[in-house]
């Protein structure tokens, strides 16, 4: 049902016959026909023959008639591919009869561990955690829908030296007061107060140092106070996840501390493998291919000079556990690009140690920053980092106001529902619709606009179709005959058939802007169709056909948005 793949499958043997070796036919949508293949051009250069001759030879070899496709050489040597109306109509009917919209569950299910969100205990979540959470959630939804076994891991920062000072601050405040402070969701105030004391007060510093030792030594009271910090923070993070409407739950927290008991073993094994080198009192691995600005090999510090283990050791232990115990063959890390080198080095060391080897593969899904209107890193008015909840609440408030101003008769409950779905949807879509590795500017007007490549545009298209279908009274009949009376109907049909191909592509790339871009094209094709082709006023067969196209569009938009973690609304 994936048209692009079908054409590609049919052209590949023809190209291979002409070239004498496998060639990717490079099929894509075409402004001149339904699709085009550009592969003859490069092949001609390789074979030293005229491109049009190559293209003609491919046409002669290709078997396309039985699927209703005709091919024609055009321009310097393109192949224009046109699907017959009959074949297209047939594919649309089959698509409409498929609850999965042409996307079969994967034939090769994998265990995929997705490491995402990962805020730090007793610290506010910032916009970097927003990106990680939103992208990770989309990855989880998509891979899960495709039938992979997905393990969500929220690699909470819940360990390390700051906990000495945090626990001492908690003791100073008293447990009840500390718990109250933290439950108000003002984690930064708590953290900053501890920090200020630490910087100003030597006695506090000393207490904090001793507290770290007690924590690492497993002292019971210290552990209990640490737990209190972790639990309060987790509770708070869960409220953010709830507001953000992501699938992360309390069961998915697996903080850095969860790997404590494995760290000594990791370092011992690296030593046994001969990978460990002392460097300034610390124990390091120097993975191949990493050097600093001075050309000196770069160390990954697995045990610090004070004997403690840090971030890299924990990631090595976690990786080993994910492959060894969870049986992961795909390991995803949704973390900002500044940590690119950290992950590259961790993966290299894990490979050298034999903990990461095919079929298991690790990928760092790095992402850029969110910028303010001034084009610089997003900052609060006071100059600090922007509090995530504040941002989400603002999105919801703005979307609610917009909904009310567009429709003053809206009752409060409906306005709230729309405000939440549109506000949160807009935030997520603004993030997922751009190249993940790029920075983007947080622009309220643009992301809440009803036109453009935005969530509200897609949600509105969906709601509009649902309203047409409600007015039609009956559901579209699956045994309808599809009629292409106008070119817009045809264009919409071709777009609908592209869903499976895009989902398959994103399964590999996890570049969600490809899916977002597809949904935007689909909604645009629908709007063009709707402008040109009356649905409810059409008669008989034509009405049925158009209703079916409309319904299929709604289902595809809904599923696509759902994969991005964005809600659809029946009315807007």
User: What is the binding site for ligand ARG (CB under 6 A)?
Assistant: 115, 118, 120, 155, 157, 315, 333, 335
Peptide bond into 289 cis (omega under 30): no
DSSP 8-state secondary structure symbol assigned to residue 298: P
H helical segments located in 449-511: 455-472, 487-496, 499-509
Q: Which residues pair with 83 in a beta bridge?
A: 69
- Dihedral, CA of residue 555, residue 560, residue 563 and residue 565, to nearest 10: -90
* Distance separating alpha carbons of residues 305 and 303, to the nearest angstrom: 7
The least distance separating ligand ARG from the CB of residue 120, rounded to whole angstroms, comes to 5
The least distance separating ligand ARG from the CB of residue 358, rounded to whole angstroms, comes to 21
The least distance separating ligand ARG from the CB of residue 62, rounded to whole angstroms, comes to 48
* Distance separating alpha carbons of residues 568 and 69, to the nearest angstrom: 36
Nearer to ligand ARG, 215 or 319 (CB): 319
Name the residue among 57, 48, 45 with its Cα closest to residue 17.
Answer: 57
Instruction: Extract the runs of DSSP E, i.e. beta strands, from 322-476.
Output: 330-334, 361-365, 370-371, 440-441
The least distance separating ligand ARG from the CB of residue 154, rounded to whole angstroms, comes to 9
Q: Are 486 and 546 in contact (CB under 8 A)?
A: no
Residue 27 has φ and ψ, to the nearest 5°, of -80, 135
Nearer to ligand ARG, 154 or 568 (CB): 154
Nearer to ligand ARG, 12 or 377 (CB): 377
The least distance separating ligand ARG from the CB of residue 316, rounded to whole angstroms, comes to 10
Name the residue among 427, 433, 428, 425 with its Cα closest to residue 512.
Answer: 433
Nearer to ligand ARG, 191 or 333 (CB): 333
Q: Which two tokens stand for residue 229?
A: 């910090």
Nearer to ligand ARG, 124 or 495 (CB): 124
Nearer to ligand ARG, 131 or 398 (CB): 131
Nearer to ligand ARG, 131 or 466 (CB): 131
Nearer to ligand ARG, 198 or 343 (CB): 343
The least distance separating ligand ARG from the CB of residue 145, rounded to whole angstroms, comes to 24
The least distance separating ligand ARG from the CB of residue 328, rounded to whole angstroms, comes to 13
Nearer to ligand ARG, 258 or 564 (CB): 258
Residue 143: which residues within 8 A CB-CB, separation 6 or more? Answer: 112, 114, 150, 507
The residue with tokens 């950290």 is 342
The least distance separating ligand ARG from the CB of residue 568, rounded to whole angstroms, comes to 31
Nearer to ligand ARG, 157 or 299 (CB): 157
The least distance separating ligand ARG from the CB of residue 156, rounded to whole angstroms, comes to 7
The least distance separating ligand ARG from the CB of residue 135, rounded to whole angstroms, comes to 13
Nearer to ligand ARG, 11 or 118 (CB): 118
Q: Which long-range contacts (CB under 8 A, 24 or more apart) does 25-29 make?
A: 27/81, 28/4, 29/4, 29/494, 29/498
Q: Which two tokens stand for residue 177?
A: 């007061």
Nearer to ligand ARG, 302 or 410 (CB): 302
By CB neighbour count within 10 A (0-12 exposed, 13-18 middle, 19+ buried), where does 562 fall? middle
The least distance separating ligand ARG from the CB of residue 258, rounded to whole angstroms, comes to 11
Nearer to ligand ARG, 17 or 238 (CB): 238
The least distance separating ligand ARG from the CB of residue 175, rounded to whole angstroms, comes to 25
Assign 3-state DSSP to the chain and report helix, strand, coil percentages, each to 5. Answer: 55, 10, 30
Q: Which two tokens stand for residue 187?
A: 């984690």
* Distance separating alpha carbons of residues 466 and 568, to the nearest angstrom: 10
The least distance separating ligand ARG from the CB of residue 565, rounded to whole angstroms, comes to 20
Residue 143 vs residues 4, 113, 151, 403, 507: alpha-carbon distances, Å: 21, 10, 10, 33, 7
Q: Are 310 and 304 in contact (CB under 8 A)?
A: yes
Residue 451 has φ and ψ, to the nearest 5°, of -125, 160
Task: Using the CB atoms, write b or e for 268-284: b if 16+ within 10 Å.
Answer: ebbeeeebbeeeeebbb
């Amino acid at each position: 049902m994936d048209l692009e793949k079908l054409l590609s499958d049919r052209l590949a043997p023809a190209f291979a016959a002409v070239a004498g070796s496998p060639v990717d036919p490079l099929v894509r949508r075409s402004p001149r026909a339904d699709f085009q293949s550009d592969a003859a051009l490069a092949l001609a250069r390789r074979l030293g023959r005229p491109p049009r001759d190559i293209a003609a030879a491919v046409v002669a070899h290709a078997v396309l008639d039985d699927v209703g496709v005709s091919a024609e050489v055009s321009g310097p040597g393109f192949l224009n591919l046109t699907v017959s109306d009959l074949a297209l109509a047939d594919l649309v009917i089959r698509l409409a009869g498929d609850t999965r919209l042409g996307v079969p569950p994967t034939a090769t299910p994998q265990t995929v561990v997705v490491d995402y969100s990962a805020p730090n205990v007793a610290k506010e979540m910032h916009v970097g955690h927003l990106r990680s959470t939103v992208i990770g959630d989309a990855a989880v939804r998509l891979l899960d829908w495709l039938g992979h076994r997905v393990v969500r891991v929220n690699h909470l920062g819940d360990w390390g030296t700051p906990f000495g000072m945090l626990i001492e601050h908690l003791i100073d405040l008293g447990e009840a007061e500390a718990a109250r402070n933290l439950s108000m969701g003002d984690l930064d105030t708590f953290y900053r107060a501890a920090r200020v004391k630490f910087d100003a007060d030597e006695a506090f510093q000393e207490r904090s140092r001793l507290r770290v030792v007690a924590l690492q030594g497993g002292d019971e009271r210290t552990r209990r106070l640490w737990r209190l910090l972790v639990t309060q923070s987790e509770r708070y993070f869960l409220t953010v996840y709830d507001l953000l409407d992501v699938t992360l739950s309390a069961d998915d927290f697996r903080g850095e501390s969860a790997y404590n008991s494995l760290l000594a073993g990791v370092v011992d094994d690296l030593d046994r493998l001969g990978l460990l080198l002392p460097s300034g009192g610390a124990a390091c691995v120097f993975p191949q291919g990493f050097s600093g600005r001075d050309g000196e090999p770069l160390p990954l510090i697995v045990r610090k000079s004070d004997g403690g283990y840090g971030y890299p050791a924990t990631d090595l232990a976690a990786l080993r556990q994910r492959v060894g115990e969870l049986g992961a063959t795909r390991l995803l890390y949704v973390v900002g690009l500044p940590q690119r080198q950290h992950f590259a080095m961790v993966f290299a060391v894990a490979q050298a140690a034999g903990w990461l080897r095919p079929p298991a593969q690790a990928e760092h899904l790095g992402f850029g920053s969110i910028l303010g209107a001034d084009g610089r890193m997003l900052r609060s008015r006071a100059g600090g980092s922007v509090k995530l909840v504040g941002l989400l609440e603002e999105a919801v408030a703005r979307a609610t106001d917009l909904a009310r101003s567009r429709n003053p008769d809206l009752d409060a409950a409906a306005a709230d529902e729309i405000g939440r779905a549109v506000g949160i949807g807009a935030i997520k879509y603004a993030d997922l619709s751009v190249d993940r590795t790029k920075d983007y500017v947080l622009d309220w007007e643009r992301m809440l606009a009803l036109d453009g490549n935005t969530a509200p545009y897609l949600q509105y298209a969906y709601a509009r179709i649902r309203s047409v279908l409600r007015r039609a009274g009956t559901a579209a009949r699956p045994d309808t005959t599809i009629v292409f009376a106008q070119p817009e109907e045809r264009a919409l049909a071709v777009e609908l058939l592209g869903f499976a191909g895009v989902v398959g592509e994103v399964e590999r790339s996890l570049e969600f802007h490809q899916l977002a871009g597809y949904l935007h094209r689909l909604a645009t094709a629908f709007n063009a169709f709707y402008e040109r082709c009356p649905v409810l006023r059409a008669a008989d067969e034509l009405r049925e056909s158009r209703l079916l196209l409309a319904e299929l569009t709604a289902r595809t938009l809904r599923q696509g948005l759902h994969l991005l973690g964005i809600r659809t609304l029946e009315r807007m």
